[in-house]
Amino acid sequence: MTDRETHVDDERGLFIPEDLREFDAQIVFRTPWSTIQHFGSRPLEAYYGMIRADQFGDPDEMRDAKNPDLAPQRVKIKPQGADPVTLTVDVDPQIRADGGSEEPEASSAVFDRWIAQADRNIEEWGLQDEVTLLLAIQEELGELTQAHLEARDEDGDPDRVDEELDDLGALLLQFHERRHSGDV
């Protein structure tokens, strides 16, 4: 069994973890349904479009399953000269803000920053009403969008994107707290 996970995106294919994207000469993918040899030397993109959700499932329901031992939802990825890595594949992932296949943990550094900022905001301004928070959220979303576009297109500071995201995250937590405080 494996404790590593990945997912399949309906349009982009199998998500390849960053540590498995670089290889020498060839890399082999094995799903329950197929084996694919990929030749080259350039690092893989984040998603590998040749592997789709229909390559996973019950081998009895597949026509000519090549690797039924990987059923229902595992993939083996083997760069040339390296040991194979087996991953559990989520074939129906929820949309994730972090691009991963698991819910973010409440103890993550990002979430902790948002909580700390939300606490500072509440200490300074109190627990504001929903309309005020929604307006502030809209303003921060605009600032996040501007920071992203400037970083992408105008040599803006990419760290500003994270700063604006932290501000927005804190406000979303404040809004959540307001909605569940009982004093709407």
Read off the pLDDT of residues 39-80 as tens digits, 9 standing for 90 and up: 988 899 999 989 999 889 888 887 788 899 999 999 999 999
Instruction: Indicate the pTM of the whole model.
Output: 0.51
Compute the distance between CA of residue 168 and CA of residue 82 in angstroms, rounded to an integer.
Answer: 42
From residue 46, alpha-carbon distances to 14, 31, 124, 156 in Å are 8, 18, 42, 25
**What is the CB-side half-sphere exposure of residue 159 using CA atoms within 13 A?**
0
The token pair that represents 153 in the structure block: 């297109």
pLDDT digits (tens, 9 = 90+) for 129-177: 999 999 999 999 999 999 999 988 898 888 898 899 999 999 999 998 8
